[in-house]
Amino acid sequence: MIPNVDEKYAEIYERAGPYLDTRHNDLHVRIAYGFALRLLEEYREADEAVVLPAVILHDTGWKTIPEDQHLKAFGPKMTDPDLRRVHEVEGARIANEILTAVGYDAARREEIVAIIDGHDSRETAMSLNDKVVKDADKLWRFSRTAMEIDHRRFGYELREYFGWLERQIDDWFFTPEATRMARESFTEARAALIG
């Protein structure tokens, strides 16, 4: 269970669970959820009932892609953006099925599905809710956990990976608060990992 998950999203998380046991998505979703909660405190006009389920469900589509193909579809050495797109389309389908099964509000369900269907490939944001989801998703990369995982899976020495990651901060985020959080988290994680 995600720490501090609101009870109203617990069934969504439980149903998403079987789709999150690949690519470290169980850890990714927990950490992104925590960042989403922090962003929602700053952007109170965003709709928590859209943002939090979207964060929980956004990467469920990776389960439909063979694990030996994953690294072609994400990260600094991505070679197959079409495969990345597959995880978005499949994730939108799975999210729709889960949200329908739990009887989720239809209008919010449609918005969540639309956000997931493009959360990585769509370079613009459709709404503030979309911005918060996209930013929470990417903020995970600046957590100590992600840095420890990602430098290995992408084949970088830790210092080299830190250099690459730091150069992304100004380009990746939609909200000023996410940029601030990324810098803060990056600085703390780097200090803990390499001093």
**Do 135 and 178 touch, CB atoms closer than 8 A?**
yes
pLDDT of res. 195: 74
52 in a domain, yes or no? yes
Residue 28, pLDDT above cutoff 90: yes
- Residues 117 and 92: their CA atoms lie apart, in Å, by 5
Determine the longest span between alpha carbons in the chain, in angstroms. Answer: 49
71 in a domain, yes or no? yes
56 in a domain, yes or no? yes
42 in a domain, yes or no? yes
Residue 130: how many CA atoms within 13 Å on its side-chain side? Answer: 17
162 in a domain, yes or no? yes
96 in a domain, yes or no? yes
Q: What is the pLDDT of residues 70-95, one digit of tens each?
A: 877 788 878 888 888 999 999 999 99
Print the domain residue range for 176: 7-194
**Do 115 and 47 touch, CB atoms closer than 8 A?**
no
Q: What is the pLDDT of residues 149-179, one digit of tens each?
A: 999 988 899 999 999 999 999 999 999 999 9
What CATH number corresponds to the domain at position 172?
A: 1.10.3210.10
Domain count along the chain: 1
Tell me the average pLDDT across 15-37: 95
Instruction: Among 1-5, 122-126, 147-151, name the one with the lowest average pLDDT.
Output: 1-5
DSSP string over the chain: --TT--HHHHHHHHHHGGGSSSTTHHHHHHHHHHHHHHHHHH-TTS-HHHHHHHHHHTTGGGGGS-GGGGGGTSSTT---HHHHHHHHHHHHHHHHHHHHHTT--HHHHHHHHHHHTTTTT-SS-SSHHHHHHHHHHHHGGGSHHHHHHHHHHTT--HHHHHHHHHTTHHHH-SSHHHHHHHHHHHHHHHHHHH-
Residue 99: how many CA atoms within 13 Å on its side-chain side? Answer: 27
Residue 2, pLDDT above cutoff 70: no
pTM: 0.94
**Do 132 and 51 touch, CB atoms closer than 8 A?**
yes
1 in a domain, yes or no? no
11 in a domain, yes or no? yes
